[in-house]
Amino acid sequence: MSRSTQQTIVRGRFLDIQALVTQADQIAQNVRYIEDGVMIIEDGKICHLGTWQDTQSMLAQDAQIEHYPEQLIIPGFIDTHIHYPQTEMVGAYGEQLLSWLNTYTFPTELQFKDPDYAAKIAQFFLQELLKNGTTTALVFCTVHPESVDALFEAAEALQMRLIAGKVLMDRHAPDGLCDTAESAYSESKALIEKWHGKGRALYAITPRFAPTSTPEQLEKAGQLKQEYPDVYVHTHLSENKDEIAWVKSLFPEQKGYLDVYHHYGLTGERSVFAHCVHLEDAEWQCMHETDSAIAFCPTSNLFLGSGLFPLKKTWEKQVKVGLGTDIGAGTSFSQLQTLNEAYKVQQLQGDKLSAFESFYHATLGGAKALNLDDKLGNFELGKEADFVVLDLNATALQQLRQSNAKSLEDALFALFTMGDDRNVDATYVYGQKVYRKNHQ
């Protein structure tokens, strides 16, 4: 059978969220759980999902079925903010944002001018994502075009849906990491032409953050967005109070941090702003009106001491939000671990984060934040078949806890609280198994 007509049939317990929702308490009524289900995938897309009882008569006698009777099959996790060049510097000690960048990040990123080095880390990075059940990510590269090529080439071999882009940075950084307004424009344009829409690759215009771009460079970024309206914008916003004060001193003519990006045409339905811990009311309003999205990065916000993100406000203000691991200020590739910290961040603010809401943010909500909910995030027919097979009993402690779970929601909450890469039994990308625990 040729690749273009390849069929995959998977049987097991399926869980997804069937519809986008506008408030947290609507989620539970949209949860779909099939105790013994069958998914049929053709050409990387879901063409059937039903119960085993209803489906078995449709299957050929000799059909090859991949059966996971004990595990839970859910849509692949979506990471809305991560830096692949920072993979090797996770857990760098003792700094807040600005000193952390200068002490650890910039020296590490200088190495990515070397295509071989970039290719080596790109391979490692994608394997870590898959090992943790993450099938789509919005990724920062470095200022070097070589870093973008390396990542997209590695993702192409896996048919993996990634969004990524070359960093734009023409001031307040080491010489070896700076481009210019003009080179940022021309190199990004060439990369957009080369990669955006090729297979499952999508491109993001990527100013690191407002302080490392001159007004001239931000203007060029806005020009690119006008010329290529279906590409993404990916940057940082309001992570740290010192950073916010710095932005205000560098751009005194703008009303605030977000207004800098908005002024240069960088807000919109495919614009994703990482962190947003300290947004002002007018900025929340601008995020809503422009249909921009937030990447909530709890492990990073805690690690760098940036602050507590008010997740409840995203529902109140109707602003799209996804989860980001933010490797390498974030401390885990695992969205399970990220949700564990997200719960605690809300607890510290007197709010609760339910299991089903957590599940939503990691799957369909993340797809919505990336404007990909027509392609990803649940098991609707016609969507791309990216999913993860989870073992809820990966450790002795989890086994004991799960044996006392009172409901599906309770079992899921325990998974999000205690889980990590050990719970990922298999990961499928575009209908193909690309990772199996202990079978790499």
| Mean residue pLDDT across the chain | 97
Please check the confidence at residue 180 and state whether its pLDDT lies above 50.
yes
Confidence of residue 94 (pLDDT cuts 50, 70, 90): confident
Residue 6's pLDDT is: 85
pTM of the complete model: 0.97
List pLDDT tens digits, range 129-174: 999 999 999 999 999 999 999 999 999 999 999 999 999 999 999 9
What are the b/e assignments for 384-420, b being 16+ CB within 10 Å?
bbbbbbbbbbbeeebeebbeeeeebeebbbbbbbbbb
List pLDDT tens digits, range 395-431: 999 999 999 999 999 999 999 999 999 999 999 999 9
Mean pLDDT within 368-375: 98
Give the Cα separation of 341 and 343 in Å (integer). Answer: 5
Confidence of residue 440 (pLDDT cuts 50, 70, 90): low
Interaxial angle between packed helices 355-362 and 335-347, expressed in degrees from 0 to 180 and rounded to the nearest 10: 130
List pLDDT tens digits, range 214-235: 999 999 999 999 999 999 999 9
Mean pLDDT within 98-125: 96
Residue 314's pLDDT is: 98
List pLDDT tens digits, range 300-328: 999 999 999 999 999 999 999 999 999 99
Please check the confidence at residue 4 and state whether its pLDDT lies above 80.
no
Considering Cα of 277, then 281, then 282, then 284, what sign does the dihedral take?
Answer: positive
Contact call for residues 218 and 210 (beta carbons, < 8 A): yes
Domain 3-75+378-436 has CATH 2.30.40.10: yes
The phi and psi torsions of 140 (rounded to 5 degrees) equal -80, 130
Q: What percent of the chain has pLDDT over 90?
A: 98
Q: Which fold has domain 77-353?
A: TIM Barrel (3.20.20)
Q: What percent of the chain has pLDDT over 70?
A: 98
Confidence of residue 2 (pLDDT cuts 50, 70, 90): very low
Residue 256's pLDDT is: 97
Confidence of residue 1 (pLDDT cuts 50, 70, 90): very low
Q: By three-state DSSP, how is residue 322 classified?
A: strand
- The partner residues of 256 in beta bridges, in order of sequence, read none
Q: By three-state DSSP, how is residue 187 classified?
A: helix
Domain ranges of the chain: 3-75+378-436, 77-353
Q: Which amino acid is at 100?
A: W
Contact call for residues 42 and 5 (beta carbons, < 8 A): yes
Residue 417's pLDDT is: 97
List pLDDT tens digits, range 228-277: 999 999 999 999 999 999 999 999 999 999 999 999 999 999 999 999 99
